[in-house]
Structure 1
Amino acid sequence: MSDNRFSVPQQWRAWMWQGEALQQEIISAEPLQPHDVLVQNAAIGLNPVDWKVLASQIGKVPGVDGAGTVVALGAEVDPGLLGARVAYHQSLRRNGSFAEFTVLTAQVLMRLPDELDFATAASLPCPMLTAWQAIEKVPTQPGAAILIAGAGGSAGHFLVQMAQARGFEVTTLSHERHWSRLHALGAKRCLSDSMHNAEATQRRYFAVIDAVGPEHAAHLADNLLANGHLVCIQGRVEQWPCGPFGRALSLHEVALGALHLHGDAQQWRALTQQGERLMAQLVQGKLESELLLHFPYDQLPAQLLALQHRNFSGKQIILL
């Protein structure tokens, strides 16, 4: 279903991955499936996953995060969604957000508060929902020590705030350039890897959330207390990092993509409703967004390359 209030084109521009580079192509519209919607993108959020999975995106439009307006509906979609301002996290199996328009399953949409602009909204889905999933893996114990590794990134930005709000005593591992921001967000202690390694035998944590990689996560497992929790965001630990019935750790992995492949409607409702609550907290000043770096649509390939070789703070947003 469409509406004469909205312009629904037969073709639109998109960046497609052709194996070596992003190339701008023209996408032709196809009839929407019953549970799909068409979103006219106003802003695109860039995430590390966007370049990490390019090998699987040949001939497709990459991009998982975007925000914009619903301009057309499939036959089985709630008519009240037409014209809604939304943000979304897209499945890697479908054409993504690096385009003027994106076709999505309606259940992945999050409605925006009136006060939230599209650029901020596009910066949120992947890091904010990943952070929420990660902190949900850890039983809340106010006063317990938690270590967040890779805290300078987007997920870490939200994790520090969520952990602090739940009463954890937060220590972070990151580059020094992030420390003042992380302290302001609620981290009690900010360390580099070398500083952490120097005191590793002196401190133990109830939980470690790692956003660096599986080897890094396995290394940090030795810093966990008995019955502690190791949460992996950037690659999971393949082998249990301690002997059986010794430290008795719980291992967790976090992947938003799992819901696209194996989630049910109830799980999606829980995730998107939580996303909408978190966006409301941001509007209310209870949660702080990252520093946003705005770029025009034609700079998307250059900014994706810059993200791969990151040496800056902030979140890249592509505006349409």
Structure 2
Amino acid sequence: MADEMIAWTWQSQGQPTGLKQESRALPVPGPGEVLLQNLSIGLNPVDWKMIEWGHPLWSPGHVPGVDGCGILLAAGAGVQLPAVMRYAYHQGLGQNGSFASHIVIRADALMAVPQGVDDAQAAALPCPGLTAWQALEKLPGTGGRDVLVCGGGGAVGLILCQLALRLGWRVWATASLSHHPALLSLGVSGVFDYHDPDWQQQLTAALGPRRLHAAFDTVSGTHARILAPLIGYNGHLICIQDRQESAPLSAFSTALSLHEVALNSIHQHGCREDLRLLRQAGTRLFSLVEQGSLELPPISVSGFSTLPDVLAEVRQGILRGKQVVLL
């Protein structure tokens, strides 16, 4: 086993192209941790956002990145896992992340990757897939009513639409026109172009006498507020991007419930049972991918040396689909 690793490191607030490649000593896993050799790295919007904004726990030399897939090289005390398995993971923002040839991570955050899922798919799934799962966990019931997914063309929205359909919800979505055929082919009841200023009226007309039971917003807190009047009595507004700092509707009107989705928070505030449920959800999602029952966004792959440039293009909106770096 090599005694060094290569990493793209953060130095200060700025653009992804400001990341610096460094060689450093291979870290040693502590109790309950493992050392993985990364095979693939998934790029997510949160990556460039943290590089640009900074993070309270980051200092120069921090390794960004939350998603990856690798093979186990070493295990700390108390860890017993098969070394032959590939493991996918979602790393907490406060820890050194996936933008490296190796990573140390908590063993109870690992998800075994089945043989029928390739390395690129394994790294593409954790952040958007587990975010979609967590968002649906906010919604009580087992389907049969109308829900709206705003941003159905994005990675989270695409997976969320499919999982909601599997639970029996009647799903509507907003997306740019290029995504409409794919979403409709999955069984979404209707898709509305969010560029159209009349899309809300079109949705209301399509619903007829019914009202939305829930709306999932992947756009922004400001955008989520405009969805509140569309939701019926005792309904739910689930904010995946930002949160509602104040109630969007007056008290004692539709009795709207507000929900905040924050996947990263599990690493700081989650207990052992929370992580068990997360692993269980990840295992189920990987099984659906292997069976061909869960469609991921189109995946594009690139090399490790191009990581900062590719992430910069993700930030600029130049690249479509899911970007994965293979090592």
Check whether TM > 0.5: yes
Helix, strand or coil for the counterpart of 1:115?
coil
Helix, strand or coil for the counterpart of 1:81?
coil
Helix, strand or coil for the counterpart of 2:79?
coil
Return the match for 1:11 from 4, 10, 35.
4
User: What amino acid sits opposite 1:291 in the alignment?
Assistant: P
For 1:115 and 1:51, the matched residues in 2 are separated by: 30
Aligned to 2:134: 133
CA contact (8 A) 1:73 1:82 kept: no
CA contact (8 A) 1:148 1:208 kept: yes
Aligned to 2:104: 103
Aligned to 1:116: 117
Aligned to 1:67: 69
Aligned to 2:37: 40
CA contact (8 A) 2:36 2:74 kept: yes
For 2:157 and 2:124, the matched residues in 1 are separated by: 14
Aligned to 2:221: 214
Helix, strand or coil for the counterpart of 1:199?
helix
User: What amino acid sits opposite 2:143 in the alignment?
Assistant: P
Q: How far did 1:312 drift? A: 4.1
Aligned to 1:241: 248
For 2:291 and 2:84, the matched residues in 1 are separated by: 24
User: What amino acid sits opposite 1:126 in the alignment?
Assistant: C
CA contact (8 A) 1:66 1:122 kept: yes
Which runs of structure 2 are paired with 1:152-167 in the superposition (5 Å)?
152-167=153-168
Q: Let me know the Cα RMSD of the aligned residues.
A: 1.4
Aligned to 1:287: 294
CA contact (8 A) 1:282 1:288 kept: yes
Normalization by structure 2: what TM-score? 0.92
For 1:155 and 1:228, the matched residues in 2 are separated by: 21
Helix, strand or coil for the counterpart of 1:31?
coil
CA contact (8 A) 2:28 2:104 kept: no
Helix, strand or coil for the counterpart of 1:158?
helix
User: What amino acid sits opposite 1:301 in the alignment?
Assistant: P
**Long gaps (5+) in structure 2:** none
Whether 2:168 is the aligned partner of 1:171: answer: no
Helix, strand or coil for the counterpart of 1:53?
helix
For 1:58 and 1:190, the matched residues in 2 are separated by: 43
CA contact (8 A) 1:200 1:223 kept: no
Moved more, 264-273 or 51-60: 51-60
For 2:24 and 2:255, the matched residues in 1 are separated by: 52
User: What amino acid sits opposite 2:116 in the alignment?
Assistant: E
Deviations 1:43-90 (A, max 9, x none): 000000111112124421100000010111001111x33332100000
Normalization by structure 1: what TM-score? 0.94
User: How many equivalent pairs are there?
Assistant: 312
Moved more, 280-289 or 135-144: 135-144
CA contact (8 A) 1:178 1:313 kept: no
